Amino acid sequence: MVKRTAVVSLPDTATIEETLLTIPGVREARIMRTSETDIGEVHIIASPRRAPKKIVRDIETLLVVRFAYRIDYRRVSLVQIPDSGTADRVTLGRVEQIQQPDCTYMEVDLVNGLQRFTGRCAVGDDPAEAASRATIMALNGLFAPQSPLELAGVQCTTFGARQVVTTYVTYQDIALEHVLGTTFVRSSVAEAAARSVLAATNRRLAGWLPDQHSALALIAAGG
């Protein structure tokens, strides 16, 4: 059932559809009207990078705030299709120690679909920590201008006959989240540290990224 906060005359169909396209993750939008004051159905094609429930909630909120119109979520039909230029997971592109006259740096490249993010950190006594911090810096590029991710700790241990790197990462939003990543050392401790950070964060990135672009933020900015 469709409910309205008030009997209002909605704008034309194209205006409503263009407004829905401002919601992050929405790639195509079509509405089916039953009258000048009613929307019978909303059909959405969206990216899989956002949770469906979050997209539907944004649609409900946007219609209420912009048009004083309340729609039952059961009237929203949503299908998610992979984006052509993005990936579901961030992958490790490169970990390199760079020697310069004044300092030695650990540089990490991360790949997200067609995007590439680079982080750099000076190498002190611990190459694993430097690689971890460089990876965090690169990951924070996904959230620019915010930097919600921080390295809380990194530890190299031996498990049986294998070396293991564990990283402890925090994500600051409304509440502070804590995640751990662990990986075996293959080619180097630095490379393992970078992979460990990705192991900690990749499974949560899809849930974290949408919070940076809520529909309410778009409304407040006049988008």
Query: Any idea which of 124-128, 184-188, 203-207 has the lowest mean pLDDT?
Result: 203-207
- Is residue 75 domain-shared with residue 175, that is, in the same domain? no
Query: Is the domain of 107 the same as that of 43?
Result: no
In a domain, 130, yes or no: yes
Q: Could you tell me whether strands 115-122 and 104-112 are parallel, antiparallel, or unpaired per DSSP bridges?
A: antiparallel
Out of 32, 58, 83, a domain closes at 83
More confident: 209 or 164: 164
**What is this structure's pTM?**
0.58
Look at residue 16 and tell me if it is in a domain: yes
Confidence grade of residue 6 (pLDDT, cut at 50, 70, 90): low
pLDDT in tens, 154-187: 999 998 889 999 999 999 988 899 999 999 998 8
- The widest CA-to-CA distance across the chain, in whole angstroms, is 72
Q: What is the pLDDT of residues 55-103, one digit of tens each?
A: 999 999 999 998 999 999 999 999 987 655 445 578 899 999 999 888 8
And the tokens for 27?
């790639």
Distance in angstroms (rounded) separating the CA atoms of residues 136 and 188 = 18
CA distance 58 to 216: 8
Contact by Cβ (8 Å): 118, 136: no
Rounded CA gap, 2 and 150, in Å? 44
What is the distance between the alpha carbons of residues 93 and 116, in angstroms, rounded to a whole number? Answer: 8
Which carries the bigger pLDDT value, residue 129 or residue 205?
A: 129
Confidence at residue 14, expressed as pLDDT on a 0 to 100 scale = 86
Specify the CATH number for the domain of residue 67: 3.30.300.30
Structural domain harbouring 137: 91-206
Task: Indicate if 114 and 179 belong to the same structural domain.
Answer: yes
- Does one domain contain both 117 and 191? yes
Q: What is the CATH number of the domain that holds 201?
A: 3.30.160.270
**78 shares a domain with 106:** no
Of the candidates 24, 52, 83, which is a domain's last residue?
83
Query: How many domains, the chain?
Result: 2
Q: Do residues 123 and 31 share a domain? A: no
Residue identified by tokens 């988008």 is: 223
Task: Please tell me the total number of residues recorded for the chain in this structure.
Answer: 223
Q: Is residue 218 part of a domain?
A: no
Q: What is the pLDDT of residue 210?
A: 53
